[in-house]
Amino acid sequence: MKKILVDIDNTLWNFSDELYLQLKRKFPSFSQPSEWNGWDFWRGQCEEADYWGAVNAIHFNQDKYIPFAESKKFLQALKKSGFYILIMSYRLPASLEVTRKWLNENELIFDEIQFPKEKADLFGKDCCLVIDDEPRVLQKAQEKGIATAGLRTYPNREGQNECNLFTDLDGVLAYVESFK
């Protein structure tokens, strides 16, 4: 079965806006997401432990947040197209159950969830598409000959045209459906 790998943060929901709220609470002058560029945007604004503390706190409270309006339809369409859907995220293993609960409660259908140390470890021969917003991840997939797509978000907004980034999941879906 053809396998598609789908990221969670900034792919199925607006992680950046919530991360900003969390960081701003502790660091009132923290820059807004529209000013973020690259994945080390937090450097010079907080300590690494503060950054990961905020990221992990969000993941442990995942069920408080809402997915993008298109996420349910997006995953349903992938399933209907015959994909095996592997949800992947860089998260602590202890947040697996709340993540599963969030996916189920929001009717975000999937076949498997993995929290790998390195997403590229999941890029096997059976993997035909990787959906993620992080250019580093998408580039690793492309190096293995796997097609990629993702959302254009603040940290990846510049110079990543080759990764097939779209403004919303409807754009990603149109690309996936043109590809199959």
Rank residues 1 and 17 by Cβ distance to Mg ion and give the closer one: 17
Rank residues 9 and 175 by Cβ distance to Mg ion and give the closer one: 9
Rank residues 3 and 134 by Cβ distance to Mg ion and give the closer one: 134
H or E segment to which residue 148 belongs: strand 147-151
Question: What is the DSSP code (8-state) at residue 99?
Answer: H
Rank residues 7 and 30 by Cβ distance to Mg ion and give the closer one: 7
Closest Cα partner for 26 from 4, 49, 60? 49
Question: Are 83 and 4 in contact, with CB atoms under 8 Å apart?
Answer: yes
> Which residue has the CB atom at the shortest distance from Mg ion?
9
Task: Note the residues at the interface with Mg ion (CB under 5 A).
Answer: 7, 9-10, 133
Residue 139: CB minimum distance to Mg ion, A: 14
Phi and psi at residue 109, to the nearest 5°: -75, 145
Cα–Cα dist 20/33, whole Å: 7
Residue 54: CB minimum distance to Mg ion, A: 15
Residue 29: CB minimum distance to Mg ion, A: 25
